[in-house]
């Protein structure tokens, strides 16, 4: 098996036992990037010289004192919303095309300290807005399973890079589905963890919890490996969960016989038929695993407006000072989001917080009956990379660019861990994923069921043809 096509855990073992060197691993992935990135446009800033130099230092270190950490020698590319010291961080915007941070984000520090090697930055829509990765600075990221289609977003560059073997692990972020949607579209795994599981530092929004950082990889085991490094408390993060990340670096195999799983369907939303066809087949997979499966869905009344109000307020407060109302360097969608956020009143915020409390209580009662909830990830198959957003689903018009993502963003206010896992393919070979939603702060349980499901289906092993 080529170095670029094996799992991160297998690579980590080979590196730790010196079966291969960090230089060999990094060089192989740089060659894969040279081969595949031109078609997909997943990695937008590349750092080959510094990556090879870092790999050489790791090879020297392992001889003297052993592996630096659990990610020793593994290549990674960070999402272009994440600050990287000395490497440009553009946020996908012409406004920030020349920004070179003087500091690293906390996850970059942790991942580097664990021995990973940064090879570059992955593409994202402007300021992470939208679940279609395209911007005027770098263009669109294309789906490796069909280059005419989108890779999703906003972690679309990360998902496409993983699917093509350009990197074995990647970080992403998720407010309304930005880890889950691209994972589904590109047949990889993405985990939206509980708020506070991975501290977001530095930040001026320490108490805003709709947006979270999370790991992505080609397998559930590899997601858990990266989570074990990214997660853990920090004294500067007041809402950080206290468990150390190492609790996730473990054997995820679990007998899921008898586990109570609520098998949802459409939440009352329009879906493309092929998505539901693939999804419905997964009930039999869960039943064969021995799960106790019941058709049930939580009452998510109010989730739509709650999300829009809280998100709109935060977008306006964070980007408003940077973006002028007539600034043509910024996409109209960004300006429109800021304009909406400025209409949010104190009464709107009070309503959203109150309704969110009631929503979480209702869903908590639902999870007293079920350990997990399973739903489709996206309402549609990967669509044209030239289409900014889906305008209609099965004849139902979408009011705006958020509407087609409701199956994802309605879950965000619940503050629950959610994994997106490959489930199968449409008749035309396009990936479809499922969401596994767990109880509060039960990332471990979500990962365990996700691993059992992954092994039972084998869908994630179907990789795209490289250009």
Residues with active-site annotation: 79, 154, 178
Q: Which two tokens stand for residue 227?
A: 């989570």
Q: Find out whether 170 and 216 touch, Cβ atoms under 8 Å.
A: yes
Q: In terms of DSSP bridges, do strands 75-79 and 43-46 run parallel, antiparallel, or are they unpaired?
A: unpaired
Give, in degrees to the nearest 5, the angle at Cα 442 between 218 and 291: 75
CA atoms of 43 and 23, how far apart (whole Å):
20
Give the integer Cα–Cα distance in Å for 300 and 298.
6
220-230 vs 443-457: helix axis angle to the nearest 10? Answer: 160
With a CB cutoff of 8 Å and minimum separation 6, the contacts of 205 are 314, 318
Non-local CB neighbours of 31 within 8 Å, separated by 6+ positions: none
Nearest-10 crossing angle of helices 346-369, 303-319: 130
What are the residues whose beta carbons fall under 8 Å from the beta carbon of 321, sequence distance 6 or more?
none
Query: What is d(CA 100, CA 79) in angstroms, rounded to the nearest whole number?
Result: 14
d(CA 84, CA 193): 22
Q: Spell out where 136-202 has E strands.
A: 139-140, 142-143, 146-150, 169-174, 189-192
User: Tokens representing 185?
Assistant: 């579209």
Q: How many CB atoms lie within 10 A of CB 67?
A: 19
Per the DSSP assignment, residues forming a β-bridge with 148 are none
Polymer length in residues for the chain: 467
């Amino acid at each position: 098996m080529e170095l670029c096509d094996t799992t991160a855990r297998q690579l980590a073992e080979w590196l730790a036992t010196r079966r291969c060197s960090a230089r060999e691993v990094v060089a192989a992935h740089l060659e894969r990037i040279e081969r595949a990135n031109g078609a997909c446009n997943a990695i937008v800033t590349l750092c080959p010289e510094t990556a090879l130099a870092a790999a050489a230092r790791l090879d020297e270190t392992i001889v003297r004192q052993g592996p630096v950490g659990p990610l020793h020698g593994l290549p990674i590319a960070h999402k272009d919303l994440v600050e990287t010291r000395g490497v440009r961080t553009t946020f996908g915007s012409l406004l920030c095309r020349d920004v070179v941070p003087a500091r690293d984000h906390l996850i970059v520090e942790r991942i580097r300290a664990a021995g990973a090697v940064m090879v570059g930055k992955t593409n994202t829509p402007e300021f992470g807005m939208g679940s279609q990765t395209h911007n005027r600075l770098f263009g669109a990221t294309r789906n490796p399973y069909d280059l005419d289609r989108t890779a999703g977003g906003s972690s679309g560059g990360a998902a496409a890079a993983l699917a093509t073997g350009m990197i074995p692990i990647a970080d992403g972020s998720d407010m309304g589905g930005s880890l889950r949607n691209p994972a589904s579209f590109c047949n990889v795994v993405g985990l939206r963890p509980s708020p506070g599981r991975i501290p977001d530092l530095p930040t001026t929004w320490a108490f805003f919890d709709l947006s979270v950082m999370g790991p992505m990889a080609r397998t559930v085991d590899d997601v858990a490996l990266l989570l074990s490094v990214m997660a853990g408390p920090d004294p500067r993060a007041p809402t950080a969960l206290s468990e150390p990340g190492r609790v996730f670096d473990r054997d995820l195999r679990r007998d899921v016989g008898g586990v109570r799983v609520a098998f949802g369907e459409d939440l009352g939303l329009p879906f493309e038929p092929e998505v539901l066809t693939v999804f419905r087949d997964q009930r039999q997979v869960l039943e064969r695993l021995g799960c106790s499966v019941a058709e049930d869905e939580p009452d998510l009344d109010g989730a739509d407006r709650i999300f829009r109000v809280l998100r709109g307020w935060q977008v306006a407060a964070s980007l408003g000072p940077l973006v002028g109302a007539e600034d043509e360097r910024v996409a109209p969608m960004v300006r429109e989001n800021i304009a909406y956020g400025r209409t949010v009143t104190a009464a709107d915020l009070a309503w959203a917080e109150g309704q969110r409390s009631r929503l979480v209580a209702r869903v908590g009662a639902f999870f007293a009956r079920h350990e997990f909830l399973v739903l489709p990830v996206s309402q549609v198959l990967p669509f044209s990379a030239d289409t900014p957003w889906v305008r209609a689903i099965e004849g139902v018009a979408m009011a705006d660019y958020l509407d087609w993502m409701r199956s994802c963003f309605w879950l965000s206010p619940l503050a629950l861990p959610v994994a997106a896992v490959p489930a199968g393919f449409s008749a035309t070979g396009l990936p479809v994923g499922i969401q596994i939603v767990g109880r509060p702060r039960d990332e471990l349980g979500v990962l365990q069921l996700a691993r059992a499901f992954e092994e039972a289906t084998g869908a994630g092993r179907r990789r795209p043809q490289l250009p």
